[in-house]
Amino acid sequence: MNLPAIASQSPEPALSIALPAALDGRNGNNRARGGHLQIAADTDVEAVRLWLAEYAGSPHTLRSYRKEAVRLLLWATQALGKPVSSLTREDFLVYEQFLAAPAGDWVDPARPRRGRTRRLIDGPLSERSRHQALGIVSGLLSYLVSAGYLAGNPLALRRRTGAAARRTHRVERYLDHALWDHVLASVEQWPRVTARDQQHHERSRWLIRLLYHTGLRVSEAANAKMADFYQRRGKWWLHVIGKGGSEGEVPVSSALMADLARYRVFHRLAPTPSGSETAAAVMSVVGDPHKHLTPAAVYLIVKEVFRRAADMLATDDPAGATTLRRASTHWLRHSAATHQADAGTDLRFIQKNMRHASIQTTGIYLHAEDDRRHAETVRELEQADPL
């Protein structure tokens, strides 16, 4: 099998694959005809490249999504002799079988892991990995349908089966209230001997509160500006530009505004932001208002906060320390939604705050009902059998 040339991986979201003209997707059977195309793409590779560009601010997601896109493009053109824009539901049934039991050159261990002739799969994928891979591909196809590039998403017809159909998911990557309180308290114990220590403390203190109170994604926090905080009818809001350029508004509490005022005053700014400011919401450690943090920098700062908090907890609560060492930026977003749900906030409001497309996504944060069910069940059993 002669695999098409693949450019060496780079940190850019670009996708460079040389496909035969007959298989580049210009005339794909599933191409949308007569509608208004929302993206400047004539071929499948160009369309996939634009989809990947949406994740430029999330390097881990970008890497995972690029891998699945490359695998699908090469498998479709080489195994079926079809462009991705001609694949049918039946073709994806075959693709799922391939992921479960790949054979031939696709899994040849002699092929390098990188470069032009790398192998695209190491061996059979587990049910969970297949579900994740097809979920990513389905997201790609849905994006291309919304963009007016494809007429339909064949994977939208896929029936959930087995464990995936039976499982009711609940988000577990969040901090309970006690751990979150410990994180806040631990930051206040950081040494602040030098000016650099003080600068780092104030930025870290402000960043974790911003992420928690607003539920921002890491890229959203990195790109946020002071001018994004604004008042309407006497109440503070945060304007957010999220995935795919979608815009949203998040309520801002008086507590968070007080934290913002502290952070601004530390850097010799007025306590309250104005709409004309160009300063970043989270500045460089020395307070350069014109320098935004990268998403990677935001991630590393939060990881340091959790690591230090875990170190302080290691002796008294090793399980809690282990949880904190696993935690990352997205845990704060999950914690925000979970704690709002625990407080009885209307699910529709949480959906808007998190900017979820579907309220079903928001429902995975409902833990309080399970907690009450457990408590009442255990109490009844203990009363029935006090011994």
Q: Active-site residues: which are they? A: 217, 243, 330, 333, 356, 365
Whether 324 and 316 have beta carbons less than 8 Å apart is answered as: no
Whether 181 has a pLDDT exceeding 90, the answer reads yes
CA dist., res. 118 & res. 9, Å (int): 11
Whether 47 and 39 have beta carbons less than 8 Å apart is answered as: yes
Strand 229-232 versus strand 247-251 pairing type: unpaired
CA dist., res. 99 & res. 88, Å (int): 17
Which residues are 301's β-sheet partners?
none
- For the record, the structure tokens of 177 come out as 């209230």
Backbone angles phi, psi at 229, to 5 degrees: -85, 125
Rg (CA), the chain: 24
Q: What is the mean pLDDT of residues 20-40?
A: 88
In the structure, what pLDDT confidence band is assigned to residue 168 with cuts at 50, 70 and 90? Answer: very low
106 vs 132, higher pLDDT: 132
Report the CATH number of the 177-374 domain: 1.10.443.10
What's the confidence (pLDDT) of residue 383? 56
CA dist., res. 199 & res. 192, Å (int): 9
Half-sphere exposure of 360 (CA within 13 A, CB side): 3
Looking at 25-29, 43-47, 324-328, 383-387, which range is the least confident one? 383-387
Average pLDDT, rounded, for the chain: 82
Whether 205 has a pLDDT exceeding 90, the answer reads yes
Tens-digit pLDDT profile for residues 260-316: 999 999 999 999 998 888 899 999 887 788 888 888 999 999 999 999 999 999 888
DSSP 3-state of 234: coil
Amino acid at 350: I
357 vs 216, higher pLDDT: 216
Q: Where are the domains of the chain?
A: 21-166, 177-374
CA dist., res. 133 & res. 127, Å (int): 10
- Residue-wise burial string across 204-222, b where 16 or more C-beta atoms lie within 10 A, e elsewhere: bbbbbbbbbbbbbbbbbbb
| Number of other CB atoms surrounding residue 165 within 10 Å | 8
DSSP character string of 254-293: HHHHHHHHHHHHHTT--SS--TT---BSS--TT--TT-PP
